[in-house]
Each structure stands twice: as structure tokens, then as C-alpha cells.
A and B are shown apart, each in its own frame.
Chain A
Amino acid sequence: MRFFKETNIPFVKFSKTAVTASVIFLAISLISIFLLKGLNYGIDFTGGSLSQVRFDSTATTGEIRQALSSVNLQNSIIQKTSGVNEFLIRAPQIEDMEDIPGEIRRGLETLKNNSFEIRRTEHVGPKIGKELRTAAIWAIVSAIIVIGIYITIRFKFQFAVGAVVALIHDVLFTLGIFSLLQLEISLSTIAAFLTIVGYSLNDTIVLYDRVRENMKKRRLEKIQDIINISINETLSRTIITSLTTFIVVVVLSFAPGEVRIFAIAMIIGVIVGTYSSMNIAGPVVIYWQQNIHAKKK
């Protein structure tokens, strides 16, 4: 069986349109992140308290709020989850109330005729939240730098530029979708972002590898032709791998809780990563080669 055979799609010709489309979407992402909706940070990053509670019989958010008012936590955000009679209670940061999960339990105990089970609690101090945020940014930035160095050593500097631009593109793109859909950013999401970085890079490296090989074979040809041929030659592999990964992450997105958000991030990432390695990583190298590299000589 074979999906593609000897394709000759002029990717490089379309790259202007693709770059324009990317720029527009990235602008929308940035506007959404910084001006409009912002990012929906989970308690891992903001600090706060969360309890996942399952009741034996039906309960309403009103009843729960009423019960929580007995411990002065009526300002909590109460959310129904996909589970049966299951709720997430996010309590605001209250400084001198140390044991918020305990207070929530005490409050819920005033609910009559309904017993409950606290399935999960998370309590993150504001300081830890800030530290995790710094660590996450540091992790993404240092991953990009180290990867850039590796590519410079294995390939050429302009390839590293292309790969890094594609990576930043992917992360911003995914962040933009998270901001627009107001999906929660937690520690798992950060893991997903880094996986997207790794995944998109995988595609880019496969392409560059082929470009490197073709540059040796076809010394006299223009860089844009070499890149176009390389994209076409690796197209079959790119599609098959993306497809299998896609199958896996789509199945993963049916798992509960954190894994689900992780899977959603990965679904976006697989699509964006495949797109960017063809339409961003390639054109950047061409641009660099033609404008900056050529001028130096």
C-alpha cells in the first residue's frame, strides 16, 4: 500500500502564502494572549486550592456554595466535571487559612442527606506557583537554545535559525489556541508543549537531513529547488508518521483529566508541527541563504 508516489508539489512556491497565513494567525495569537483573553493558568502556576469531590446523590452548585459559606469559602469556583455528580471546587487564596482542603471538607459535611468522597485535592502555595512558572519558561527557552546549538553543529547555522523559528511558531500557535479556547495551562500542558517542540523538530530534522544529502548530490542546483525536492521526497514519511502519532494522541484524548489536556495540546502540535517543518523551516533557510548568507560573501 502506498499513499504517495513521486510527488512534485511546488511547496516553496506556496511558501509566501503559507508564511502570510502563519503571520496572521500568530498576530491573532499574540493579541489574544497579551491584549484580549490572556492565558488560563491552572493552580500549578497561580497557586490556589482545588478539590475534586464526588457526591453519592445529585447535588447542585447552589447547594455546594451554600455549604461552603459555613466555612467562609462561598467565593470558590464550583464546576461540574464529566463524572457523575462530580465537582471541582477551586478555592481562592486565603492567607491565614492553612488547611483549605480540610475547610472544604468541613463545609461540605454540613450538606444533609448527601455523603461525598474527596477524590483529589491540590494545594499550591503562591511562591511555588511563581517558581514553577519561571522553571517552565526556563525549560522551554533552554530547550530551544540547546537544540539550536546541536543543529548548528550537525548542520549549519541557517538551519538552526529555521528550526528555531519553526519551534517558536509552533509554541506560539499552540499557546494562541489555548488562549482563544481558554484551555487550562498546567504542568502537563508544559510537558505537552515540550513534546510538541520535540515532535515538530523531528519533522524539521528529517527534512534538513534530506536537504543536507541533496546539497551534496546536487551542488549546482538552487537552494529553493533542493528544498522543494527534499520536501517531496520526505513527504510520504512525514504523512505516515504524523498519521500514526495522530491516531495515538486522538485515542489519548479520551483518557481522563490531565492526560486529556496533554492529548489536545499534542493534536494541535502534530498538525502545526507537520505544517511548520514544511512551510516555515524550509523557507527560512532559503531566505537566509539568499539574503543574509549571500550578502556576506
Chain B
Amino acid sequence: MFKKTNVRFIIISVAIVLALYSLYWTFAYNTFSDNKIEELRSNGKIEKYEDRIIRVGLDLQGGMHVVLELDLPKLIESIASNKTPQFYSILNATTEEYKKTGDDFFNVFKRQVEDNNFKLVRHFSDRGYKNSEIISSLKDESKDAMRRALEIIRNRIDQFGVSEPTIQKAGQYRIIVELAGIQDPASARNLIQSTALMEFILLKDPEVTQSFIISVDNYLKTGRKDIEKPEISEEDTTVELKESKDKAISVNDLLGMTAVDVGIEQDSSDTALVVDEEIFSERPFSSLLRNVGSRIGIPERNVYAVRKILNDPEIRKLIPYDSKVLWSAKPKRLTMQDGKTENYYLIYHVNRETGLQGKYVTKAQATVGGAGTTSAGQPIVNLNMNNEGAKIFSRLTGANIGKNLAIVLDDKVYMAPTIKVKIPNGASYIEGLESIGEAKNIAIVIRAGALPAPVDVIEERTIGPSLGRDSIQTGIKVGIIGFLLVIVFMFIYYRLSGLLADMALILNIIFVMAILAMLRATLTLPGLAGLILTIGIAVDANVLIFERIREELEKGKTVRAAIESGYARAFITILDANVTTGITALILMQFGTGPVKGFATTLLLGIIASMFTAIFVTRTFYNYITDRKVLRTLSI
């Protein structure tokens, strides 16, 4: 007949074998050379390992964690028709309150609409008549937009090629993206975040643009004194033109010095704005601008000032109603007439109305511009449209020969070539890209389609691979030192019983790691901290038991009886203590964003494992010893 102790040994052995088996994959994987991993990958066996190893968190291997939120106000704005100032004022008030209070967007919207006695049907007539009907339809639309956004972002990342990306929905309108081992976080971020809304928009006639610029100048000169005057350094007066007050000025005169594109790398280290003081007081806005070919350029140092002026709500009113101002995607390196080089951004004054939407684009392919074109040898993205798109494009180009058409992606202008002939087949391309890598990314986002609404990055964390390596090394070092100290201490204080506790501790760690591997959980730096804390908890369980046994021995009980009642009494205490710590861990998991969750997971696993090792495993060994012979003394 099997003795009870033997059954216990069998249970322990099975647990240990299972644990070691589940850890085997991690161990084997880590001993593989890069070549071996490559070989396994090519014959498809790597997944067998990758599915079973303990995954290492972004903080330990480097990578990027991004939280995106669907821009609901923009989504609502894009759905609405016949937008009036009152509509905008309600939407803006909603946005502000939503950002400040963090309440549900649609509750805030509903409140705003009701408070203002506003009728939504004027703007959303196709969604019902009653406000409540329309709001619930908008809510559905948002949920749908969220589903599409998730799908599109997933597609983009798949094409980008990152191993084991995590893309998950969080809350109602958020997406968490985690990419391990990313080398260039900025380009990954652009890939994920770009709305990829492509548009072809006609530029305004230069005369219209010119009168707009003059009106801004006049407004700043007379109407407003509170626009900050930029700081000007003494020696930096590179602009030499001066105009008399009453002379009529053309855009070209206005913009002064002409820059030519030669692209020489040369650093200009002074950071003051490039304007002449006298000219600035005369023409506060246009003196910040330069003439670049037939376009309006802005030296990089003036960008901040120009943006500030253009974003001013009063100035916005001066922009003709049917137009808007867009910026170039990238700065251009140009050399001025006096030989100095500078980075320039270009601004484009374009129609408010889109000439052709990007949704007609069916194909986007990154390639290199052919010989004889303006982009010979440069990376470009070739675009093809479907029939419907080609028809619209042909009409658009045919009717506007001689005008300029801006190719706009996410409100940034990539190029604005002059339309020379009618283009019937819907073929087009994007140029002005930095590298073939960028061209590929742009092609990916266009192919994957535009997001239904922009997404905002509300949280972003990146960890470089070197930092991760440092952390894992110190983490392991510190962990081992702490562990060894505890083991030595336990042995000195409790002798052979201490050794038994030490064995339980080692088992404890093996079990926690094994469960982590089975759950496909991720080990993070806080997770390692939790693991180390687990040691403390497991020790406590043993200490409680040993102290209790000592007490019972002092009362004059036999070794066997003392062990018996020591375990029985200590068990209640351990249970109560561990349940309360477990409650804390569970709540942490609930509340948990990344780091805290990792900590809580290992802590909870540690508690469970320590109940098993400290109570069941050590007890079995004691039973084994006392079964065999009657002990007079116990090494404790």
C-alpha cells in the first residue's frame, strides 16, 4: 500500500518535472546561436520555441510602447455637414470639457447640446431627427471607426515587419501598440499614427496669397501690439532689403532674398530669428518669410514665430474663407545669395476644398524616380487610381492647366507640381522623400488606407536596447545577491531546517518562472522586483512554521507532535496573511498599467507557489524523516 508520504512525493516530483519541462524551452532557446535561430526560423520550427519561452518585456529588451486615442472631436467634425460657427463652438466646448474632466465624450457632447438648446439634425440629417437618436448613431459610428482604426493599424504594422507586435484595444477609444526592438522609434510612430489621409488640392493664385500676407502685415502693424516681437541678435541682419512704406510691393519683392537649392551641409549655430529690426516693425509677418523659387519659404529659425502668428485666432479670420495654409512635410536645405545655408520650410496657400481624395488610390509603390524626371534617382511613391478616381483626376487636371496641384498627406504637402497637361490615366507620384525607407513607409500607410479619424499619441515610452541589457544584468545580479544572503541567513539561523526552507525557496522560484512560461506572460523589470519580493513571502511562511515548531518543542512536545501542531497553527496565519497580500496583488493587476501589472502578476504567482512549497513540500520532507525514525531533537 502506498503511504501518504509517498503520494506526496509523487505530487512534488510531477510538479517539478512539469516545471522543468516548461522551462526547458526558455533554457534551450537562450543557448542557441543566432545562426541556429535563423535556421530554425527558416524551417518553421522556431515557433515551437517562441510559443513556450518566457517573454522578456520591453523594459528589458528595448522597444516602444505607444497608447493612441481616437480623436473623437475630429471624427464628429468630419461626419457633420453644413458646419456653422455655433456648431464649432459647441464642439470646441465639448472637446475642452472632455479633455479636462475625462468624462465620456458623448455624455459631455449631449450635455453641451442640451444646454445650448441646439438641434443636431441640421448637421446630421441622415442620422435621425431627435438629438438622442443622432448621438447614439454617432456613438455607433465611433465604435465602428475604432474597429476600422485597429484593423488598419494592425495592417500597417504587419507590413512594417516587426516580430511579435502587440496591438490591442484599451478602453473604448484607445489602442496600445507595443513593438519590441525598434531601432527608429520616430519612423515607427509616424507609421502608426499617420492618418494617411491623402488629398490632391489646388493651390490658390499667387495674387490671392499676396493680398492675404499683406493683410496679416497690416493687421499686426496696426491692430495688435501683443504679438511678441522676436529677439534679434546684433550681428544677424542678413536681410538687406528695405522697402518704403507707401510703395506697392509684389510677393517677390516682399520676400526679399532668393535662395537657391544647393544642399551644402553647413551649420549655423546662432538661433536668433532671421529678420531685420526695421523691416520687422514695418512688415511684422512678411519679413519672416523668404522667396524660394516661386514658393514662400520660412527659415527654420522663424518657424516658431510664423506658426504662432498663423495659429492666432484673429489672424485665422484673415485667411480667405475658401482656403487654408499648409506646411511642407520636410525642411529643405538651401543656400542664400550671401552663401549661408539654412533649412527652409515651405508654406502653401491652398483651396479649402479637396480636388481629389486619396480613397481612389488603389496602388502605392515605393521606387526610385526614372531618368529625365525631376526626381531622377530620388525615392518616390508611385500612385495609381481606380477608374472613378482617374476620371475625376483627368477632369481636375484638364480644367486647371498651368495651376499647381499640391499632393497632401495628413495636411503636409509633399510636392506641388504645375499641371502641364491633362492626365487621363490617374497615374501620379509623390516626391521629396528623404530615403527609400520613408518612401516604403508612406506606401504602406497609403495602401493600408486612411484612418477614419486622426489618432493622438497620449502616451509613448521607448527604451533603448542598451538600457534594457543593463537593467537585466543588474537585475539578475542584485536578485542573486539578495537570494544568496537570504539562503545563508536561513541556514545559520535554522540549521538543517533552514536548508529545507532554502530548498523550498529555490523550488518556489522555479515554479513561478515555470508558470510565467506556461501563461506566456512577459517578464518585466518590476516583475523581477516582484519575484524578489516573493522570496520574502516564502521565507516568512517558513519562519512562521519554524518559530511555531520551536514554541511547541519548548512546551515539551515530541518532535513529531511539535511538527504536527506547528504546521497546523502556522497554516491559519499563513493563509490569512497570504490572502490579504493576494488581495493587494489582484487589485494592482486590475488597476495595473504595464509596469505595475507585471509586478502584481509575479507577486500573485509567488504567493501561490509559496503556499505550495512552504506548507506542502517542506512538510513532506519532515514527514519522511519522522516516519523513518523517532527523532529526539530537531535541527531547527
Which range contains the number of B residues in contact with the other chain? 35 or more
Interface string of B274-304 (1 = CB under 8 A from A): 0000000000000000000000000001001
Closest beta carbon of chain A to B436's beta carbon, Å? 21
Candidates A135, A147, A256; contact of B470 at CB < 8 Å: A256
Candidates A2, A143, A256; contact of B584 at CB < 8 Å: A143
What are the residues of chain B within 8 A of A234 when measuring CB–CB?
547
Interface flag for A252 (CB, 8 Å): yes
In angstroms, Cα B590 to Cα A150, docked, is 18
B543 x A254 contact (CB < 8 A): no
Interface flag for A130 (CB, 8 Å): yes
Give the secondary structure class of A's interface.
Answer: helix
Interface string of A243-256 (1 = CB under 8 A from B): 11101100110111
Closest beta carbon of chain A to B469's beta carbon, Å? 11
Interface flag for B526 (CB, 8 Å): yes
Interface flag for A241 (CB, 8 Å): yes
A244 x B543 contact (CB < 8 A): yes
What are the residues of chain B within 8 A of A1 when measuring CB–CB?
492-495
A202 x B467 contact (CB < 8 A): no
Report the stretch among A172-180, A183-191, A218-226, A279-287 that lies at the interface: A183-191
Closest beta carbon of chain A to B466's beta carbon, Å? 6
Q: Which of A66-95 contact B (CB under 8 A)?
A: 69-70, 72
What are the residues of chain A within 8 A of B269 when measuring CB–CB?
110, 112
Interface flag for A64 (CB, 8 Å): no
A248-B535, A255-B478 as given contacts; A121 in contact with B543, CB under 8 Å: no
Interface flag for B551 (CB, 8 Å): yes
Interface flag for B99 (CB, 8 Å): yes
Interface string of B503-545 (1 = CB under 8 A from A): 0000000000000000000000110110011011001100110
B539 x A241 contact (CB < 8 A): yes
What are the residues of chain A within 8 A of B301 when measuring CB–CB?
70
Interface flag for B427 (CB, 8 Å): no
A122-B461, A247-B482 as given contacts; A262 in contact with B536, CB under 8 Å: no
In angstroms, Cα B462 to Cα A213, docked, is 53
In angstroms, Cα B99 to Cα A202, docked, is 41
What are the residues of chain B within 8 A of A198 when measuring CB–CB?
580-581, 584-585
Interface string of A1-43 (1 = CB under 8 A from B): 1100000000000000000000000000000000000000000
What are the residues of chain A within 8 A of B600 when measuring CB–CB?
191
Interface flag for B311 (CB, 8 Å): yes
What are the residues of chain A within 8 A of B186 when measuring CB–CB?
99, 101-102, 105
In angstroms, Cα B463 to Cα A142, docked, is 32
Interface flag for A56 (CB, 8 Å): no
Report the stretch among B82-90, B333-341, B571-579 that lies at the interface: B571-579
B584 x A194 contact (CB < 8 A): yes
Candidates B67, B466, B478, B579; contact of A119 at CB < 8 Å: B466
A255 x B526 contact (CB < 8 A): no
Interface flag for A55 (CB, 8 Å): no
In angstroms, Cα B597 to Cα A132, docked, is 13
In angstroms, Cα B628 to Cα A46, docked, is 64
Interface string of A193-212 (1 = CB under 8 A from B): 01101110110011011100
Candidates B460, B482, B573, B584; contact of A248 at CB < 8 Å: B482
Interface flag for A181 (CB, 8 Å): no
A120-B463, A241-B539, A256-B470 as given contacts; A154 in contact with B584, CB under 8 Å: no
B457 x A98 contact (CB < 8 A): yes
B584 x A121 contact (CB < 8 A): no
B460 x A122 contact (CB < 8 A): yes
Candidates A105, A188, A255; contact of B475 at CB < 8 Å: A255
In angstroms, Cα B236 to Cα A293, docked, is 83
Interface flag for A156 (CB, 8 Å): no
In angstroms, Cα B593 to Cα A136, docked, is 10
Report the stretch among B20-28, B117-125, B348-356, B483-491 that lies at the interface: B483-491
What are the residues of chain A within 8 A of B573 when measuring CB–CB?
205-206, 209-210
A118-B464, A130-B102, A131-B102 as given contacts; A143 in contact with B595, CB under 8 Å: no
In angstroms, Cα B599 to Cα A258, docked, is 12
Interface flag for A259 (CB, 8 Å): yes
What are the residues of chain A within 8 A of B596 when measuring CB–CB?
187-188, 190-191
16 A-B pairs with CB atoms under 8 Å apart are A1-B492, A101-B186, A119-B464, A120-B462, A123-B459, A125-B457, A134-B102, A139-B587, A146-B583, A191-B588, A195-B603, A236-B547, A241-B543, A247-B486, A251-B478, A251-B485
